[in-house]
Amino acid sequence: MTDSSPILSAADVTKSYPAATGGNGRRLLTALDQVSLQLAPGETVGIAGESGCGKSTLAKVMAGLLKTDSGTVLYKGTPLSLLPPPDARTFRRSTQMIFQDPFSSLNPRMRIGDSIMEPLKIAGIPPELQRSELNRLMAAVGLPTDSTNRFPDEFSGGQRQRIGIARALAASPEILIADEPVSSLDISIQAQIINILLEMKREFALSMMIVSHNLLVLRHICDRIIIMYLGTIVESGPAETLFKRCRHPYTEALIAAVPGIHGTATEAPVLLHDDIPSPLAIPPGCRFHPRCRHAADICRVTSPVLTEHPDHHVTACHRSRELYG
């Protein structure tokens, strides 16, 4: 990781969707609410939280696949909306995404060799070099080079995810954004994909954003982890120190719920009660307070702001310093 200017950043990004509420009524569901973050060159950032917290929407917004309602996504300091056409094309090539379901992101009628080579053709790579680059990418992700004429449905889920990674790398990206890249895979296959991502980061000098509900995956692969709750960031900090000394009750609860992290699953205290509230009915004040065992009167009426701590943590919690020092 380097300390240079962000390669990709978000400033006060908000994103909402229309949602049916019964009858003819429609309301806006706010998936992201004034979210700001930065991704440094060579850094791997993890985005974690329960389902419905907005992390997948954030990934698509950062990749330029969704437009913001307000706020700005910036590529090397320039808002995406202000990039001149050549730079916009560079951003689209330089920012690649790996999706949770690799099968749906591959053309089922296209042989995998052609699918992986498609970005090479678009980039104008000479035909004589496309085949050698294809073989290099296949080998890099652990796929046999003699399988390029097979179709996606002839591969397992883990192999299809490797194909998706190879296709993303074919564009020679600077930024790789992965949305739950291992959640649908068996544990042993998850480890293989994680190791491939780590190796690709080293070999291709990638900046990476990894969305996952699995904190152990993020701990293993990320430099920094961002915790989201109901469309906002509630904590951000270095991956390892986040586990050793988190500073938000929600992060504490997520870590406590990780099986085996306390020796056995039964040793972990039960810190979360009830399901996450609907984004259509966000609680006043701190939106986590109905589920927080430390909630005070101020939490019920006043929304906390993100506050920096000396150990490179940032939290949105009225009682963070009182509870965690």
pLDDT averaged over 10-residue windows placed end to end, the chain, 325 residues = 78 90 72 96 95 93 96 96 93 90 80 90 84 88 88 89 88 91 79 85 89 90 96 95 92 86 51 80 93 94 93 92 88
Predicted pLDDT of residue 22: 61
Domain ranges of the chain: 8-324
The two three-digit tokens of residue 206, written as one number = 């990638």
What sections of the chain are H helices per DSSP?
55-62, 85-94, 112-122, 127-140, 157-170, 187-204, 215-221, 239-244, 249-256, 297-301, 320-324
The two three-digit tokens of residue 124, written as one number = 């104008």
Q: Give CA–CA dist 79/43, Å, rounded.
A: 20
Radius of gyration of the chain (CA): 21
Predicted pLDDT of residue 201: 85
- Letter for the amino acid at 72? T
Q: Give CA–CA dist 288/295, Å, rounded.
A: 9
**Under a CB-based contact definition with an 8 Å cutoff, are residues 39 and 211 in contact?**
no
Predicted pLDDT of residue 75: 97
Matching residue, tokens 């997520």:
254
**Under a CB-based contact definition with an 8 Å cutoff, are residues 226 and 248 in contact?**
no
The topology under which CATH files domain 8-324 is: Rossmann fold (3.40.50)
DSSP 108: T
- Letter for the amino acid at 48? A
Predicted pLDDT of residue 121: 85
The residues with which 229 forms a beta bridge, in sequence order, are: 232
**Under a CB-based contact definition with an 8 Å cutoff, are residues 233 and 316 in contact?**
yes
